[in-house]
Amino acid sequence: MTSVQKLAGLVVLILVLMASAAGVTWQVQDWRMGNKLAQQAVLHGDDLAAISNAATAQARAEQGKRLGLEQQLAGQDQQHTKELSDAQRNQARLRDQLATADVRLSVLLAEDSASGCNVPTTPGTAGVVHAARRAQLDPAHAQRIIRITDDGDNAIIALRACQAYVSAIAPY
Q: Is the whole model's pTM more than 0.75, yes or no?
A: no
Backbone angles phi, psi at 107, to 5 degrees: -125, 150
* Domain count within the chain: 1
Q: Please, are residues 142 and 105 in contact by the beta-carbon 8 Å criterion?
A: yes
Tell me whether residue 147 is in a domain. yes
Quick one: pLDDT at residue 119? 52
Q: 146 to each of 89, 142, 166, how far by Cα in Å?
A: 13, 6, 30
Per-residue model confidence as pLDDT tens digits over 114-152: 555 555 555 555 554 556 777 777 778 888 888 888 888
* Mean pLDDT rounded to a whole number for the chain: 83
Q: Does some domain include residue 103?
A: yes
156 in a domain, yes or no? yes
Can you give the pLDDT at residue 125?
54
Question: Which residues constitute the domain of residue 85?
Answer: 68-109+133-172
Residue 140 covered by a domain? yes
Query: Would residue 105 be called left, alpha or beta, if left means φ above 0 and alpha means ψ between -120 and 50 degrees?
Result: beta
User: How many angstroms separate the CA atoms of 135 and 165, rounded?
Assistant: 43
pLDDT of residue 65: 92
Q: Is residue 123 part of a domain?
A: no
Whether residue 2 lies inside any domain: the answer is no
Neighbours of 89 (CB within 10 A): 10
Residue 93, in any domain of the structure: yes
